[in-house]
Structure 1
């Protein structure tokens, strides 16, 4: 009887240890929903990383990048995020101020965005420029500047909410960079041609493809997507004379990560050439390395002058600028 109890005790300990080991091998990654969709980079990255790490990736999706930051803030120390993928440089100071991330300790000398990267808490994993995208078969005379879009364009647009979406926040900063103190007046004029403001990029682009507006706020790289995936070269990105706002998307280790070593391994994986190619061809952004071969349509993407407000200035004024936008479009 004592021998049976002893064997049962040993078996229980082994089962418990195997369960602990399984739990330790599951890496939880918070990101935005399009990243983990069946056509996004998430599924392919999962197969590649799980093969090397002998672990399990668990993706947790939010509508968009700003919504992701809001979720992390609300969860606080109860967050289950080992890794956060999908913030951008505009949100880095707030995430740092709220102590939502921790240092990655990785070498970033090989990264170019397009200059070198030196941030100790965040790793860039892709970059791009926002643009209003249109179908040239349907729109023959797209605007060639932000001023023309706001003041003269007779068509319709769809864009994303700056309170939930990084493209929406990008447009908020784009208008601020061009119009300065006159931004509220510009928003009132844009309101007259806006079909709707969506929570996420997914929603906005889906409505645009259904023909619900002439232009949609998206990225200059969309032309490469349509040509490579659909053999359709009719979708174009408008390059504005004042410049197009730049975005650099970043990843980080969560402040309350349970598996820091594995999280660091995942960040290092994200910036390898093979992962960078998957991200470029499935998230449809530009890589943050110069040694990633891409199909010819990427070489044909327009590259307007990059506009960018310093992240520290964005952090200091973002809430006030969002209120300006909200007040202008609600009148």
Structure 2
């Protein structure tokens, strides 16, 4: 009888696991790292969804859309989390995303009205340096300086792509000349953000392409005020990160539930001190102490979503040309 009871228990447990719905989310690697928001988000959502939330790392942000295009309707993803406004127009054009039904009062510097994508955080790109080091106040000064920088590849990384859009938005037709000037400042181009920031911390470069919020990590998590973002007088490019539901999902209701959860306090309170960005909806407790020390760009730069594809293509060509000379 003991063996029969054990067998019955195993069958029941197996059936329970089989009945647990699985929600698969493609995202960038740093989101699901031990220090990223992924583990806390997974725990919080599973506590209320009676489901199994599974994150799948797909490199850096810009690589997500490439993977989804390759997989098409056969993808295992129910949600893609980690695109930004430089990629959303292209993403919608694939037909691989479904509209969402989320309604929220966003704390974004711009009005948000997108039927397909829900924002979860935002920030400004910046070059991070040692706080005791004099930094350039614009791209021309950087190009004329001996400072060495590490940047990310715009073909695989959303920060790398954001840098291209930043230079293009700030300088327009003069962007190729800016890149020609910057070419000898670039130590290396990494595939993703983590590798680039690691090289900077190891002393391989004077500055690294990151965010105005990055020094908050050192200040809050490490009690280290030795890092700062250089303020550029031509303005800083804004990144708004988003998630969208895949049209081919076999868990549409669960996907909708996650997108709604994403703009709740439970999710948004995790963002500032794990993804080190501004939350799309400021939690009831506000921003953590230390965020008030960050620089605030005098001018915000962003290319309209419907123009992003054309601007991105031109900016990428200019960047490749300049770095190949």
Taking structure 2 as the reference length, the TM-score comes to 0.92
Q: In structure 2, what is the Cα distance between the partners aligned to 1:147 and 1:255? A: 44
Are the structure 2 counterparts of residues 209 and 186 from structure 1 closer, same or farther at C-alpha, using a change threshold of 3 Å? same
User: What SS class does the counterpart of residue 258 from structure 2 fall into?
Assistant: helix
Could you tell me which residue of structure 2 aligns to residue 131 of structure 1? 126
Higher alpha-carbon deviation: 244-253 or 184-193: 184-193
Correspondence list, 1:168-317, <5 A: 168-292=160-284, 293-304=286-297, 305-317=299-311
Correspondence list, 1:73-84, <5 A: 73-84=69-80
Are the structure 2 counterparts of residues 19 and 99 from structure 1 closer, same or farther at C-alpha, using a change threshold of 3 Å? farther
Are the structure 2 counterparts of residues 24 and 321 from structure 1 closer, same or farther at C-alpha, using a change threshold of 3 Å? farther
Following superposition, the deviation at residue 223 of structure 1 comes to 1.3
Runs of 5+ unmatched residues, structure 2: 1-6
Q: In structure 2, what is the Cα distance between the partners aligned to 1:122 and 1:19? A: 35
User: What SS class does the counterpart of residue 203 from structure 1 fall into?
Assistant: helix
Say what the alpha-carbon RMSD is for the aligned residues.
2.0
Are positions 1:321 and 2:306 aligned together? Answer: no
Q: In structure 2, what is the Cα distance between the partners aligned to 1:246 and 1:255? A: 28
Could you tell me which residue of structure 1 aligns to residue 141 of structure 2? 148
Q: In structure 2, what is the Cα distance between the partners aligned to 1:175 and 1:313? A: 15
Contact in 2 for aligned 1:131/1:219 (Cα 8 Å) = yes
Higher alpha-carbon deviation: 120-129 or 56-65: 56-65
User: What SS class does the counterpart of residue 180 from structure 1 fall into?
Assistant: helix
Q: Which runs of 4+ in 1 moved over 6 A?
A: none
Following superposition, the deviation at residue 20 of structure 1 comes to 9.4
Deviations 1:4-27 (A, max 9, x none): xxxxxxx9xxx79x7597366111
Q: In structure 1, what is the Cα distance between the partners aligned to 2:97 and 2:17? A: 25
Q: In structure 1, what is the Cα distance between the partners aligned to 2:17 and 2:222? A: 44
Contact in 2 for aligned 1:129/1:244 (Cα 8 Å) = yes
Taking structure 1 as the reference length, the TM-score comes to 0.91
Are positions 1:113 and 2:108 aligned together? Answer: yes
